[in-house]
Amino acid sequence: MTDLAYGFAANVVAVLLYGSNFVPVKRIEMGDGMFFQWVNCAAIVLVSKVGDLLLHSPKFHPFAMLGGVIWATGNIAVVPIVKAIGLGLGVLIWGSSSLLMGWATSKFGWFGITAQEVSKPLLNYCGAGLCLLSGMIFFFVKTDVETHPCLESTPLLIDRRGHASGFGPVSSEFWIDVIGPKTRRFIGCLLAVVSGLLYGSSFTPILYIKSHSSSRDSMFHGASLYDLDYVYAQCSGIFLASTVYFLIYCAAMNNKPRVYSRAILPGFLSGVMWTLATYCWFLANNYLSAVITFPIITAGYGLVAALWGSLVFREVRGFGNCSVFILASCVVLTGSFLTAFSKL
C-alpha cells in the first residue's frame, strides 16, 4: 500500500506538470518552434544533470539516449500543433496516441521488452480503452485558436540583419499561420498523432535495458532496475538530437534562424517543468509499472491541458463543445481509475 501511495502521488505530480508545461509559452510568439525546442531541451538536460548528481551519477547507458532522440523528433512538431489546433486539443490527441503506443508496448512486450502483467487484466483493458476513447471524443471538440498570440511578430536575428542592411521589417509568418482553417486543423491533428506515437516509443529503450538486465548473454547484464538512473541518459539524447536538428535548420535557413527573444525564459521554464514531470513518471514506474502509469499519465495530462485551453485560454466555446468536453472528461477520469484499480 505504501508503494501504491508513492506511485499514485508521483502520477498526480507528473500529470499536473506535463499538462501545464506549455502554459508559459502559450501566448508567446515562437515562429516555427525550432529555437523554442532547442532552449526547451537545453533546460531539460541541465535539470537532468542536477538530478544525476543527486543520484550519485549512476552508470550511463548510451542506448537509453535513443529514447531521447525519438522524443526530440516528435517534439519538433509541438509548436505547429499548438498553433494549428490549440494547446488543449493538441495535447489530448498526442496524449491518446502516446497512450496507445506506450501501453501496448508494455502490455504485449513489443520491441523485445518483457510483457508486464497486472492482477486484474480486464480492468486494465477497459481503463486503457476508455482513456483512448476519450481522446477520440475530444477530437470532435472545435477550438478557437489565435494564430498570432503576441505583439512580437519579428524574429530577433532576422529583424536586426534586415534593419542593419537598410531593408524593412521581415515578415514572421509561419506556414501554419497562413493556410486555411480546415487544412490547418487536419495537419495539426495528423502531426499530433505522429508526435504521440514517437512520445509513446521514447521509453522503450529503457524498458529494453531493464528487461535484459538479468540475461547473462546480454550487454546490459547487471543494469539497474531503478528507472530514475536512466533519466540523464535519455535527456542527453534529447539535447543532442535537438542540437543537431537546430543546426540543420540553421543551415537550411542560410544561417538566418528565426530567434524570438521573448521565448527564451518561458521555453526554459517549460523544459524545467517537463523534466521534473519525467522524474515523477519514472518514479511512478518504479512503484507501479509502465502498463499502469501510461494510461493514467497520458490521459491525465491531456485533461489538465484541456482545462487550461478551455477555461483559461478560451479555446473551447459554445454549449455543444462544452458538453462534448465534459463527456470526454468523465470518460478519461473513469478510464484512469479503472487502470489504477487493475493493480490492486
- Render pLDDT for 184-204 as a digit per residue (tens, 0 to 9): 888 888 898 899 899 988 888
User: Where in the chain are the domains?
Assistant: 2-341
- Tens digit of each residue's pLDDT (9 = 90 or more) over 161-188: 444 333 334 444 566 667 777 888 888 8
Mean per-residue pLDDT, 26-33: 78
DSSP annotation of 309 reads I
User: Are the beta carbons of 48 and 42 closer than 8 angstroms?
Assistant: no
pLDDT score, position 166? 37
Tell me which amino acid residue 162 is. G
C-alpha cell at 302: 491531456
Most confident of 48-62, 135-149, 206-220: 48-62
Give the range among 99-113, 121-135, 235-249, 303-317 with minimum mean pLDDT.
303-317
pLDDT score, position 164? 38
Q: How confident is the model at residue 49 (pLDDT cuts 50, 70, 90)?
A: very high
Mean per-residue pLDDT, 203-213: 89
User: Are the beta carbons of 203 and 76 closer than 8 angstroms?
Assistant: no
DSSP annotation of 115 reads P
User: Are the beta carbons of 263 and 25 closer than 8 angstroms?
Assistant: yes
7 pLDDT above the threshold of 80:
yes
Look at the alpha carbons of 100, 103, 108, 114 in this order and tell me if their dihedral is positive or negative: positive
The Cα 96–Cα 306 span in angstroms is 13
Tell me which amino acid residue 76 is. I
Mean per-residue pLDDT, 237-265: 91
User: Are the beta carbons of 85 and 196 closer than 8 angstroms?
Assistant: no
DSSP track, 21-35? TTGGGTTS--TTSHH
Residue with the larger pLDDT of the pair 8 and 154: 8
105 CB-contact burial (10 Å; exposed 0-12 / middle 13-18 / buried 19+): buried
The Cα 255–Cα 260 span in angstroms is 15
- Tens digit of each residue's pLDDT (9 = 90 or more) over 310-344: 777 777 677 777 788 788 778 877 877 787 677 66
Q: How confident is the model at residue 150 (pLDDT cuts 50, 70, 90)?
A: very low
End-to-end CA distance of the chain: 9
Q: Which residue has 538536460 as its cell numbers?
A: 45
Q: Which residue has 501566448 as its cell numbers?
A: 27
Angle at 327 between CA 181 and CA 194, to 5 degrees: 45
pLDDT score, position 102? 78
The Cα 344–Cα 339 span in angstroms is 10
Length reported for the chain? 344
